[in-house]
Structure formats: C-alpha cells, structure tokens
C-alpha cells in the first residue's frame, strides 16, 4: 500500500490573462474551487494510477472539508487516517495565466496540526511505500521518515515547498524528488560539489546512497543513483494549467515501479537504468496529461497506457 502523509487543501483558483506584477491588479476571467494540497493530489494521482492508497492528514470542521476530500472518496482512497480539527481546512489561493503558469499562496490551516502522534494512523508495515511532502510540519515529516524506516517501509520525499531545515533529513528518504529550483537551494544548504546540477546530483547520490530525481519543467527530468545517471525529455505539449503537475509526476513514478514489482527494499538498492527510465517516462506522461487540462486533475491509468 502507498501511504501518503501530507496536506489536504481546497484550491481557490482565479483564471487571468497574465500574472500580476507586485502591487498590480489584473482582471480575471473565471473562478473555480477544486480539491488540492500536495499530499491529497499525490494520493489521488496514485489511486487513479491503480494503487491502493491511504491518506494521513487533517481537515477542519468547516464547509471546505467535504469538497477537499470529495475526489479522494471518489478515488477509493482510505481516509481513516484523516483527522477533523478545530482549525480551518487548508486553502491555496491560485492564479493561473493563459500560458498555464501560476502563482500560489498557501494557508496551511489544519495541515499545521498534523503532528508525529498522528502517525500511528498510518499503520506502517514492511513493504509499504510512504510518500511525504513539506506542506505539513517538518518535525512530522522527519518523524515519519524514521518510523517508516523502522517498519521496513520505502520512503519517497517530495521536497516541495523548499524549506531549508528539511536539508537535514533528505538523506533519510530512499527517493528524493525535487524541482530544479528546490534542488539548487538544497544543494547550497548541503554544500554539494560539482560544476553543474547533474554533477551535484551525482554528489548527493554518491554521498547518501539514495536516488535523487530533479524535474526540469519543459526540459524534462534527470535522475541520479549511486551508480547511474539518466535524463528523460519532456513531452511537447501546450500547457493549460500546470497546477498539480509535479504531484502527478511523483505518483506516476511510484505506479511504474509498482507495476514492475520494484517497490521493495531489496529492489530499490539495485534498480536498473531501464527500470528508472520507465518510471520517469510514465511520470512524465502522467504529468503531461494533467497540465493539458484545468486544475490538479490527474489521469486514470487507462489514460497513460
């Protein structure tokens, strides 16, 4: 089972011709609401890709909670680990321009109340896969990595959003997934060596024995393991909305490794270059479908066959 420990939001989305400059007001053409949060997005994407998924997180006792959880319920995600709190349900205020680019402000609300004590709801066991992000308290992320390792589970840490303190526990995750900006910032924090990003990725993988994946937007994705390095080109599409692309990519990687029978502790230490390439390619294909339509709306497995 994939256990996602992370954020659950309701996205409030305004469509605009272009993103505003500081202090500028721009007109909008449409307003919508949609379930969101990096944790919930990744849980939904993994479930739609065919995995069994449990969500661990928190929502408020407010009118936003039901809508924030609606797609997870429809996707048959196990919500027994989702608590109701007196804080408001997390929200993300999003502006999306005609070219698909966006800016986002996140109000964590109930997500800030996900504490290490809540991790018992994950029911971690050997062979599980734990997927984490940095939209819940970092102490909880750190504790989850420790508890997952003790249980014999595999861990995947999506480093978004960047938080400098997270640099101290990146090496606890079996897989680290970052976008190019996040990786460069963590590289500075960790004093990684190398004249370019690829070299610094190799340095991280070599020093930690972990696999690091860095997404490059329209330029594709790169991955470094302790013994290999590879790159996969992006699929050429015209984006409609880039919200949720990274979350879908992460879930696509896991779906591919699961289908290849490689989501085990024994397998991850010796993944072949072909296996990694297949996983990155499926993640990129899934993300391409997501950005081709409005909202964080990940594809079902048959859409990325």
What's the mean pLDDT in 88-98? 94
User: Half-sphere exposure (CA, 13 Å, Cβ side) for 294?
Assistant: 16
- Identify which has the larger pLDDT, 226 or 250: 226
* pLDDT greater than 80 at residue 231: yes
Residue 4 DSSP SS3: strand
pTM metric for this prediction: 0.89
Higher pLDDT, 181 or 277: 181
* pLDDT of 144: 97
Distances (CA, A) of 199 to 159, 196, 202, 212: 19, 5, 5, 12
247 is catalytic: yes
Q: Which helix (H) or strand (E) holds 175?
A: strand 175-179
- φ/ψ (deg, to 5) at 111: -60, -30
Q: Are residues 214 and 201 in contact, defined by beta-carbon separation less than 8 angstroms?
A: yes
The per-residue pLDDT for 198 is 96
Instruction: Assign domain 2-17+31-304 to its CATH superfamily.
Output: Ribokinase (3.40.1190.20)
Annotated catalytic residue within 11, 118, 128, 247: 247
């Amino acid at each position: 089972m994939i256990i996602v420990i992370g954020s659950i939001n309701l996205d409030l989305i305004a469509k605009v011709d272009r993103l505003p400059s500081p202090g500028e007001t721009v007109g909008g053409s449409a307003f919508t609401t949609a379930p969101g949060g990096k944790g919930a997005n990744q849980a939904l994407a993994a479930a739609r890709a065919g995995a069994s998924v449990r969500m661990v997180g928190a929502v408020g006792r407010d009118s936003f909670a039901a809508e924030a959880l609606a797609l997870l319920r429809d996707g048959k995600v196990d919500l027994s680990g989702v608590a109701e709190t007196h804080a408001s349900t997390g929200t993300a205020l999003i502006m999306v321009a005609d070219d698909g680019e966006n800016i986002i402000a996140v109000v964590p609300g109930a997500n800030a109340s996900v504490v290490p004590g809540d991790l018992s709801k994950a029911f971690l066991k050997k062979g599980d896969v734990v997927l984490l992000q940095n939209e819940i308290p970092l102490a909880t992320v750190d504790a989850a990595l420790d508890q997952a390792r003790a249980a014999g589970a595999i861990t995947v840490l999506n480093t978004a959003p960047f938080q400098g303190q997270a640099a101290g526990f990146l090496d606890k995750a079996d897989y680290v997934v970052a976008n190019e900006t996040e990786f460069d910032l963590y590289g500075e924090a960790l004093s990684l060596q190398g004249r370019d990003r690829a070299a610094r990725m190799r340095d991280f993988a070599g020093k930690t024995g972990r696999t690091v994946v860095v997404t490059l937007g329209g330029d594709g994705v790169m991955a470094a393991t302790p013994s290999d390095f590879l790159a996969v080109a992006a699929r050429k599409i015209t984006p409609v909305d880039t919200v949720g692309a990274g979350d879908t990519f992460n879930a696509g990687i896991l779906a591919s490794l699961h289908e290849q029978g490689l989501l085990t502790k024994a397998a991850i230490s010796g993944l072949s270059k072909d296996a990694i390439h297949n996983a990155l390619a499926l993640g990129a294909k899934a993300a391409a479908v997501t950005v081709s339509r409005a909202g964080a709306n990940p594809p079902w497995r048959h859409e990325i066959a």
